Amino acid sequence: MDKLVFKNYITRKVPLSDAEWQLIDSLFAPTYLKQGEFLLEQGAVCKHLYFVGSGLLRFFVWKEGVDKTKFFTFDNYLFTSQHSFSTRKPATENIQAIADCELLQLTYTDLQTLYDQIPHWRKFIQMIIQEASHFTEEILTELQTETAEKRYQKMLLDNRAMIQRIPLKYLASYLGIAPQSLSRIRKNSAKTERT
């Protein structure tokens, strides 16, 4: 993975000196996941903060024997199972690669090192948490106020290239509808776009 992508991701939010970047670079270790592999399984403690350089992951929970997709994480994003990672308690969710992934990972102990040694690191992490919080709030509001079709249309507007990489069954699970219903919505969307 090109770590400069990660450096740019950070420096778009906060300034870094060369020495600070060298410390970050030394603590984030590369790891790889094949499509279908789990990064985290429900009941295990999440031990790392991750940056996905390339790939696609989904967060999901088991409910009455059915997996329910909560959301997706795409290229160039910092993420973790926030509650499990910060409290060191077992996760209530699963994180699975739905495409091959190149990741960087940081341990909880090394995160504390960055907090101690890089003045802007805490601000950077707070900005990421705030972004995730706004995103979660937006999802919950849409779930309560928008139809599956409207939510799908919005996803296409926001990130068409990424949405087209998500398998139908996972996208349908995220929208809370059957795959057949999503196929119908997709066909209607394609017709609308052509007219």
Q: So where are the chain's domains?
A: 3-121, 146-195
> Strand locations in 10-162, DSSP E?
29-33, 38-40, 48-54, 57-63, 66-73, 77-79, 94-97, 101-107
Residue 139: how many other CB atoms lie within 10 Å: 14
Predicted TM-score of the model (pTM): 0.89
The residue ranking higher by pLDDT, 71 or 57, is 57
Q: What is the pLDDT of residues 5-26, one digit of tens each?
A: 999 999 999 999 999 999 999 9
Q: What percent of the chain has pLDDT over 70?
A: 98
- In this predicted structure, what is the pLDDT of residue 140? 81
Of 22-31, 134-143, 148-157, 168-177, the range with the highest mean pLDDT is 22-31
Cα–Cα distance for residue pair 6/173, rounded to 1 Å:
30
What percent of the chain has pLDDT above 90?
64
8 Å CB contact between 49 and 111? yes
Are 185 and 149 in contact by the 8 Å Cβ rule? The answer is yes
- 3-121, what's its fold? Jelly Rolls (2.60.120)
Cα–Cα distances (Å) from 11 to 53, 81, 131, 189, in that order, read 15, 23, 16, 38
The CA distance from 85 to 80, in Å, is 7
Tokens linked to 158 = 């926001």
Average of per-residue pLDDT values in the chain: 91
